[in-house]
Amino acid sequence: MATATQIGTRFRTGETCPESGRYQFDGYTDGSWQPPPHPSEKEIPISRGEKFPPVRSSGKACYWKFMQRI
């Protein structure tokens, strides 16, 4: 049986989502927070097996933090 993902676990753009849920923007992989993502991009639903996306408005790779199972 797979281990449940802990709330607050970070993933980066391009990694495979281990658990369906809501994920929150948690900074860019280059260490910056600029430009800020559009408000609609700060939290995303994503399904298990999908790849974590970059922030669409900036095209930059980022970290996504697991917030809630769905």
pLDDT single digits (tens) 18-29: 999 999 999 999
According to DSSP, residue 8 is labeled T
Residue 23 structure tokens: 């994920």
Strand 10-12 to 21-28 pairing: unpaired
Which stretches of the chain score pLDDT less than 70?
1-2
Q: What is the pLDDT of residue 2?
A: 59
